[in-house]
Amino acid sequence: MSEIRVVRYRTTPECADDNARLIGDVFAELAEQGTTGIRYTALRLDDGVSFLHVAVLDGDDNPLQSSPAFAAFQSGLGERLEEGPFPATATVVGSHGGAIGG
């Protein structure tokens, strides 16, 4: 059974681009290592400073916990934020095209 985790937050305007770069580093590392067991999407909303992360974990282990790039992303996160983070677990109500949780 998959577990879906959602986190939303808003960065300060001066930190938004750096935050996006750090997120990109996480995805580059996941791709380079061929990480499995997770489907992960990070979105930057149209205000430019709000972010939404959705992770679907396919097992009990969260591969992000052992990721150096994710640790770097989390380091100093509090100083980059204006609001949040607001973590939650979620369930799929509907999905189309093999999207998150589908």
pLDDT score, position 102 = 47
Per-residue pLDDT of the chain (102 residues; tens, 9 = 90+): 688 999 999 999 999 999 999 999 999 999 999 988 899 999 999 999 999 999 999 888 899 999 999 999 999 999 999 999 999 999 888 877 765 654
Domain span at residue 22? 3-90
Residue 70 corresponds to which tokens in the numbers above?
A: 């994710």
Counted domains in the chain: 1
Whether residue 100 is contained in a domain is answered as no
Whether residue 101 is contained in a domain is answered as no
pLDDT score, position 95 = 78
pTM for this entry? 0.90
CATH code (residue 73) = 3.30.70.100
Q: Which residues contact 42 (CB under 8 A, 6 or more apart)?
A: 23, 26, 27, 51, 52, 53, 54
